[in-house]
């Protein structure tokens, strides 16, 4: 070979070697490759399947459940329009900077907001998508048979073995009977018996998820078809379950007025007693309203409504929620004609039922020029008077032990016809003038029952009558989803209990003929989750099985002719051991 050919061959070999090294380096390198081959793309259907798998995964379901609970926090901290519009209005006045932000985030209507509804619907779909495939899988497991025994039972976490004189068939039949007696699903599989128990764990898990769906449906149903209204009723007055009779009324978007339960009731009397001594002085002991109610059939019935013991009429429940006093007053004009007489409900402002309110007389008064004006009185009432000589009056006990009422008189325009909503328990004095006597002192007087306050300039008088009635406030509600929600909650607790305390496990019993002619029995158990009870249960099963297939006696050790020579002396044994080591 010529020098030139040798050089060319060397160069070629070097080039091949470099190329091979580069290829090997490229295969081992973790750097991104410059040239990539086009892989398969998901496509629209692939992306839909991927999104569906993510949505129906347990991880996403837990995240959505956490977001739903987190989203409910503003609903409990911020006043809601659906619960109390007056509180929402007061909150907006007090927080003018935050109000625009809260309105954009729909924080005054959390439970009907777009974002809360989106989380709610996604959670609903996620739970359904998670339950359906797991249900079919569980049905398949119930229809299937326990799997056969593994090849090496010694690798399982719970294991025991023994030898018996009983035959393998006899042992397997006994094992089948023992396992079925312990409510295992068992079958013979080759040289072993396979058994399984604890299917109710998965059933409890599915029941828990189904119960969550039931509660979500109940919550949505209740929000759409609910109705709730309040009514203050004075002793002797009544209420009819029609929309115009309510003081305030709220309902779901799908509720119709014609769905109101037809009934009416009259408040016959209210009874309230209070603790008179000790550290709990003033605590209510009796708090009940005696009523006569009429159903749609026109039949009158008697009932007593107590706190947490509502009156149930069809789908409606009437709850007792508040109580107060309604002093009876009589207003006369300058000619002595009665222009107003009735019980005036006053609203409590503390636990001792110190109460405030307003008395409004639409006509009956004329000024010096003969122009008709309206009368108004601010009322401050205490059932048990205290504070004499201190400038302020207050109540020291909620019962009618020493009732006193302070009245301040006004005349002018009550603005009840202004077209603006007005609180019946407050007096708008923007267009009114306080009555004054000579010297410019305003007319105000503390009055006991039976006393009269005379108005100046012949405007008339107002009398605090000796009769003081009591009033009770009732809440009438229809919640169609409550029963379903309760059933869902009970089912959820039952399912969660089953999924936590029931352990699914499998047991195998293998019986084969050994080389010495005895039967070798192997028993092993495996749990779906770690449990300290599995070895204990396996031991109980082994004890029960050994009652039918007792262990064979251990073979005796061979006896020596000379007992003394059978066992060497300790010194000789040590020497033999030393010799063995040296050898």
Q: What is residue 468's predicted lDDT score, i.e. its pLDDT?
A: 96
Number of Cβ within a 10 Å radius of residue 301: 13
Calculate mean pLDDT across residues 391-396.
84
Residue 405 has pLDDT above 80, yes or no: yes
Instruction: Write down the mean pLDDT value for the chain.
Output: 84
Q: What is the pLDDT of residue 333?
A: 85
Is-contact 443 436, C-beta < 8 A?
yes
Which residues make Cβ contacts (< 8 Å) with residue 444, sequence separation at least 6?
406, 407, 408, 409
Mean pLDDT of 269-279: 92
DSSP for 357-383 reads: EEEEEEEEEE-TT--EEEEEEEEEEES
CA distance 395 to 352: 6
Predicted confidence (pLDDT) per residue in 361-387, tens digit: 987 666 656 678 889 999 999 999 987
When pLDDT is averaged across residues 178-192 and rounded to a whole number, the result is 94
- Place 532 in a pLDDT band, splitting at 50, 70 and 90: confident
pLDDT band at 158 (very low <50, low <70, confident <90, very high): very high
Among 129-138, 235-244, 388-397, 452-461, the range scoring the smallest mean pLDDT is 388-397
Give percent above pLDDT 70 in the chain.
Answer: 84
CB 87 within 8 A of CB 79: yes
Cβ(388)–Cβ(406) under 8 Å? no
C-alpha pair distances (Å), 507 with each of 148, 155, 527, 542, 543: 10, 13, 9, 11, 14
Q: Residues, the chain, total? A: 583
* H or E element that contains 86: helix 85-94
**For a pLDDT cut of 90, what percent of the chain falls above it?**
50
When mean pLDDT is compared over 36-45, 364-373, 414-423, 424-433, the highest value belongs to 424-433
Q: Which CATH class is domain 145-198+504-546?
A: alpha beta
What is the per-residue pLDDT for 559? 53
Structure-token pair, residue 482: 């409550």
Q: What per-residue confidence (pLDDT) applies to 438? A: 67
Per-residue burial over 461-476, b if 16 or more Cβ lie within 10 Å, else e, is: bbbbbeebbbbbbbbb
Give the pLDDT of residue 406. Answer: 94
Interval 255-273 mean pLDDT: 92
In the predicted structure, residue 419 carries a pLDDT above the cut 90: no
Residues of the chain with CATH 3.30.310.80: 145-198+504-546
- What's the whole-model pTM score? 0.67
Quick: pLDDT tens for 433-449: 898 876 666 788 999 99
CA dihedral over 222, 227, 231, 235, signed as positive or negative: negative
Neighbour-count burial for 172-211, b at 16+ CB within 10 Å, e otherwise = bbbbbebbeeeebbbbebebbbbbbbbeebbbbbbbbbbb
Write the DSSP assignment of 152-186 as a string of letters: -GGGSSEEEEEEESS-HHHHHHHHHHHHHHTT-EE
Q: 229-238, 254-263, 389-398 — which is least confidently predicted? A: 389-398
Q: What is the pLDDT of residues 90-100, one digit of tens each?
A: 899 899 999 99
Give the residue with greater pLDDT, 336 vs 176. Answer: 176
Give me the pLDDT at residue 40, please.
Answer: 60
Query: Using CA atoms, how far apart are residues 248 and 421, in angstroms rounded to an integer?
Result: 13
Bridge partners (DSSP) of residue 214 are: none
User: For position 229, what pLDDT does the model report?
Assistant: 92
What's the pLDDT score for residue 556? 55
- Helices 200-225 and 114-143 pack at an angle, to 10 degrees, of 150
pLDDT per residue over 293-324, tens digit each?
999 778 899 999 999 899 999 889 999 999 99
Q: Helices 482-501 and 200-225 sit at what angle, rounded to 10 degrees?
A: 160
């Amino acid at each position: 070979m010529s020098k030139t050919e040798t050089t060319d061959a060397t160069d070629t070999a070097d080039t091949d070697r470099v190329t091979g090294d580069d290829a090997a380096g490229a295969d081992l390198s973790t750097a991104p490759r410059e040239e990539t081959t086009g892989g398969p793309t998901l496509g629209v259907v692939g992306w839909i399947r991927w999104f569906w798998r993510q949505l129906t995964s347990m991880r996403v379901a837990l995240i959505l459940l956490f977001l739903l609970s987190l989203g409910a926090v503003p609903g409990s901290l911020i006043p809601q329009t659906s619960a109390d519009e007056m509180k929402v209005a007061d909150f907006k006045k007090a927080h003018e900077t935050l109000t625009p932000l809260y309105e954009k985030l729909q924080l005054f209507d959390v439970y009907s907001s777009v974002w809360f509804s989106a989380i709610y619907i996604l959670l609903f779909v996620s739970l359904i998508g998670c339950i359906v495939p797991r249900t079919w899988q569980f049905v398949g497991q119930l229809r299937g048979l326990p799997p056969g025994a593994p090849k090496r039972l010694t690798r399982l976490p719970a294991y025991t073995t023994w030898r018996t004189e009983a035959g393998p068939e006899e042992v397997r039949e006994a094992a089948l009977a023992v396992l079925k007696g312990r409510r295992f699903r068992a079958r013979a599989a080759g040289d072993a018996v396979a058994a399984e128990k604890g299917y109710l764990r998965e059933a409890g898990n599915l029941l828990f998820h189904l119960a969550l769906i039931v509660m979500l449906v109940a919550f949505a149903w209740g929000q759409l078809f609910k109705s709730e209204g309040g009514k203050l009723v004075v002793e002797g007055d009544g209420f009819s379950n029609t929309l115009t009779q309510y003081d305030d009324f709220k309902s779901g978007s799908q509720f119709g007025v014609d769905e109101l339960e037809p009934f009416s009731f009259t408040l016959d009397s209210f009874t309230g007693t209070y603790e008179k001594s000790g550290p709990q002085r003033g605590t209510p002991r009796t708090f009940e309203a005696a009523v006569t109610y009429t159903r749609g059939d026109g039949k009158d019935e008697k009932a007593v409504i107590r706190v947490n013991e509502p009156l149930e009429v069809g789908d409606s429940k009437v709850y007792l929620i508040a109580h107060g006093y309604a002093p009876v007053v009589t207003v006369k004009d300058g000619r002595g004609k009665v222009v107003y007489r009735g019980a005036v409900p006053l609203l409590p402002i503390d636990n001792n039922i110190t109460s405030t309110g307003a008395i409004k007389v639409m006509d009956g008064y004329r000024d010096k020029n003969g122009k008709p004006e309206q009368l108004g009185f601010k009322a401050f009432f205490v059932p048990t008077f205290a504070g004499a000589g201190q400038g302020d009056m207050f109540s020291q006990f909620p019962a009618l032990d020493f009732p006193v009422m302070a009245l301040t008189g006004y005349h002018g325009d009550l603005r009840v016809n202004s077209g603006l909503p007005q609180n019946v328990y407050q007096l708008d004095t923007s267009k009114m003038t306080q009555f004054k006597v000579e010297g410019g002192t305003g007319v105000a007087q503390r009055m006991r029952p039976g006393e009269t306050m005379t108005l100046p300039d012949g405007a008339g008088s107002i009398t605090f009558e000796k009769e003081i009635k009591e009033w009770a406030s009732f809440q009438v509600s229809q919640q169609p989803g409550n029963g379903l929600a309760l059933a869902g909650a009970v089912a959820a607790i039952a399912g969660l209990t089953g999924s936590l305390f029931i352990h699914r496990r499998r047991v195998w019993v293998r019986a084969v003929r050994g080389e010495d002619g005895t039967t070798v029995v192997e028993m092993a158990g495996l749990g779906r989750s770690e449990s300290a009870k599995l070895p204990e249960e396996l031991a109980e099963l082994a004890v029960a099985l050994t009652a039918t297939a007792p262990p064979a006696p251990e073979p005796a050790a061979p006896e020596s002719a000379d007992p003394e020579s059978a066992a060497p002396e300790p010194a000789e044994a040590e020497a033999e051991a030393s010799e063995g080591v040296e050898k």
